[in-house]
Structure 1
Amino acid sequence: MVDAPRSGRAGSHPIGRLDHSAYLAMPRLPGLDGLRALAALAVVFFHFGGPTWDRLQGWIGVQLFFTLSGFLITTLLLREERDLGRIRLRAFYLRRVFRILPVYFLLLGLTVVFVSIGGNLTDSRLADALPLYLVFGNELVDYNTPFGVSWSLGVEEKFYLAWPALLLLTAAVARRFTLRLGLVLAGIAVLLVGARWSSLTLHYASILAGCLLALVLHQPRGFAVLRPLTRPAVAVLVALGFVALQLTIVPLRDALGGGWRAIVPVYAVAVALLLVAVVAPGPVRRALESRPMVFLGRRSYSLYLSQSMAASAVSTVIPGPSTVQAVAVSLFALGMACALYRWVERPAIRHGRRLAEPRGTATVPA
């Protein structure tokens, strides 16, 4: 999970097409918190809502998180390179460590404790998976456990480890944009081919789709190609088209041959186009920037990781899966997320930023 850059007045740009200079000057990328909120809720309702929510296919919402992560991380790094003349790996890794690890290990520890109290540590196979969970090999656990929802963190952590270093290595090259673009395109091609043998590679292709979008938007010519999507009317059409795609994942998957490996790349491209529409001024962004959406989005990381624990508590009084259970799980998980956000996430993030930024150093929003 990645926090969008903060701002003072990101929404002050007048309604109309967004221009490149205004995009680069945005101290934050608005609307993305709301997008996170919807993705997290889609996952919860798909897991616990029963047949009523099958069409939502919330499982693929995790790919939205992946593409969003690739886009945000790359955008932040490119802007830091532009403003400071370099990419500071130490600062980046410190911010990531204090953003991700405290909540992750706290919830993993609580899960182990509660499962052990129930006498199910071995039967649930949590004990078998624990060595991988401790080193973020979550996606390699190919069986169900009470902490199975964390598999996406294993994918993202490896991206956080490798991609900034790769950008730094290419920084000294004269035509670095061309090289970086070529690396991303080659990486996507290799990962899509590799998906025939390992489904894990497909997740990284979704992340690289976000990286590709960030690289393209950072350049004037690339931005000009996608600029029509920033028109308010076009952005609304893009958003409606994405909703239609989300609700027709299964028939589209069947039309493409019945394999989800075919639909994930299509979905990643749709997310990339949606991100352009979401960042642009207009009704789509205003809806996703509403207070409830921002509130949920900023707590979406803890909410996402808390859902299994919340479901264990809720299922003792509300049978499921059902819509009622999904609502109850969402509210319970949100309560946990609010506590974690206040007492764990925010203090840890602030501490990470203090460590990453030497005193007296100007900071790049992160």
Structure 2
Amino acid sequence: MASMTYDEFRALRRFPALDGLRAIAALMVVMFHFGGTDWRWLSGHSGVHIFFVLSGFLITTLALREEERSGRISFADFYVRRLFRIVPVYLVVLIAMAVYFAPPGQPIGDLHGGMPYYLTFMNEFSASGTFTISWTLGIEQKFYLLWPLAAFAAGAVSLGRRLGVTFGLIAAAAVAAALSRDLFIHYIPILLGCLLAILAHHPRGFAIIRPLTHPIVGTALALGFVGAQLALGPAYRTFGEVKVIPWYALCVVLVLPGLLARSPGTWLLSTRVLGFIGERSYSLYLVQVLAGAAVLWLVKVGNQLLGTGFVLDYGNVRAFLVALVALAMADVLYRLVEQPFIRLGRRIITWRRARLEASARHRQAPTATPADLGMAEPTPTPPQSPSRGRP
């Protein structure tokens, strides 16, 4: 057993264990929301912050590799990919929510005043809307908008300079959370994921995190992370959630390198079941409210058909049923909305690149000469010797 080498990391094109971790994070959120006191130990935001760290790491890794291939990243391509990855399924779920929760006699509702926030991706500022779980979309969309401009607008820069930008943004988020709104603290987990990606991309940076990729070290850190997860509740009560969130995100960052290498945790998280759920985790997260409503409707219908009075309280049964229904809904959205629009975004990028390349070739083409047009060039007149005394 040995630590992963830099070349082995750079040869990776996919990180299957991270799909599994994303699956667990999504299920954690659903179980926390619908499991009642049985699942309070999951401590609310923890699954979301796993998502945030993964987003920062994956988005930055892809951008760094594109920059290395092309000398810079295409901001247009980046925003097209994010637009077609996030917005279509989000709008489908948002419309479904607005229709389902519409007041009697109205075809569509404003989700208890939250619609203006949801349509402008200011979700985190909606305090009482029905779709408040989408607050994470507001955080991530702003990150996707600003991070490429902050970290890549200057082109390829040194490791130290890019680390300086990242640390500066982390410090700014911490100050903003202390002086303004607690919401700014949620940018720190994303930026810590970015920090890990920057370190891993450069040989000198990878040397710092390479010990974390050793199977024994990675397994020990994974077990320690489980302990940190169980200790979150007491930590929140003792120090306050805002102060604990960055440290929890740092724990996630320390675990990730071990999941990129060959370790027991990598094997467990790379199973087909977790991979299946992980690929659908975005839709799974979005539809959980609708899934909860569907489960209650099914129980109501069942009671009417059977003449029973069964009540489905918050707890294990309700949480598992909601998770299963949400996964079924997410699979439909993944196949009919997510994947088709992702492919459409890729086609748009391919078409755009082809047009740019054709335009570049046209500009670089040499001007046609008379000979190229089938005409004989005139014989040039021999130059005459300049007269003496004339410059």
The answer as to whether partners of 2:97 and 2:111 remain within 8 angstroms in 1 is: no
Instruction: Give the CA RMSD over aligned residues.
Output: 1.9
Q: Report the secondary structure of 2:287's partner residue.
A: helix
TM-score, scaled relative to structure 2: 0.83
2:75 corresponds to 1:89? yes
Partner residue of 2:212 out of 229, 232, 240: 229
1:34-63, Cα deviation, whole Å (9 max, x unpaired):
000000000001011011111122422101
The aligned residue for residue 145 of structure 2 is: 161
The AA in structure 2 aligned to 1:176 is S
The answer as to whether partners of 1:103 and 1:345 remain within 8 angstroms in 2 is: yes
2:162 corresponds to 1:177? no
Partner residue of 1:139 out of 119, 124, 146: 124
Write the distance in 1 (CA, Å) between the matches of 2:66 and 2:150: 15
Q: Which runs of 5+ in 2 are unaligned?
A: 300-310, 355-391
How far did residue 127 of structure 1 move?
4.5
How far did residue 166 of structure 1 move?
2.1
The AA in structure 2 aligned to 1:348 is F
The aligned residue for residue 52 of structure 1 is: 38
The AA in structure 2 aligned to 1:225 is I
Where has structure 1 moved over 6 Å in runs of 4 or more? 119-122
The aligned residue for residue 301 of structure 1 is: 282
Question: Number of aligned pairs?
Answer: 341
The AA in structure 1 aligned to 2:279 is R
Structure 1 residues 169 and 359, CA gap change in structure 2 (3 angstroms):
closer
How far did residue 170 of structure 1 move?
2.3
2:260 corresponds to 1:279? yes
Question: Aligned runs of 1:1-366 on 2, under 5 Å?
Answer: 16-116=2-102, 118=104, 126-143=111-128, 145-171=129-155, 175-196=157-178, 197-255=180-238, 257=239, 259-316=240-297, 317=299, 319-358=312-351
How far did residue 26 of structure 1 move?
1.0
Q: Report the secondary structure of 1:315's partner residue.
A: helix
Q: Which runs of 5+ in 1 are unaligned?
A: 1-14, 362-366
The answer as to whether partners of 2:71 and 2:155 remain within 8 angstroms in 1 is: no
How far did residue 85 of structure 1 move?
1.6
How far did residue 125 of structure 1 move?
6.6
The answer as to whether partners of 1:315 and 1:325 remain within 8 angstroms in 2 is: no
Structure 1 residues 125 and 109, CA gap change in structure 2 (3 angstroms):
closer
How far did residue 276 of structure 1 move?
1.0
How far did residue 359 of structure 1 move?
8.0
TM-score, scaled relative to structure 1: 0.89
Q: Report the secondary structure of 1:195's partner residue.
A: helix
How far did residue 168 of structure 1 move?
2.6
Write the distance in 1 (CA, Å) between the matches of 2:107 and 2:347: 38
Write the distance in 1 (CA, Å) between the matches of 2:339 and 2:174: 37
Write the distance in 1 (CA, Å) between the matches of 2:246 and 2:227: 16
The AA in structure 2 aligned to 1:281 is R
Write the distance in 1 (CA, Å) between the matches of 2:350 and 2:154: 24
The AA in structure 2 aligned to 1:160 is Y
The answer as to whether partners of 1:16 and 1:281 remain within 8 angstroms in 2 is: no
Q: Report the secondary structure of 1:186's partner residue.
A: helix
Structure 1 residues 331 and 170, CA gap change in structure 2 (3 angstroms):
same
Q: Report the secondary structure of 2:348's partner residue.
A: helix
Identity %: 46
How far did residue 146 of structure 1 move?
2.3
How far did residue 247 of structure 1 move?
1.3
The answer as to whether partners of 2:150 and 2:165 remain within 8 angstroms in 1 is: no
Write the distance in 1 (CA, Å) between the matches of 2:33 and 2:16: 28
How far did residue 100 of structure 1 move?
0.5
1:73-122, Cα deviation, whole Å (9 max, x unpaired):
11100000011221011111111111111100000001001111656999
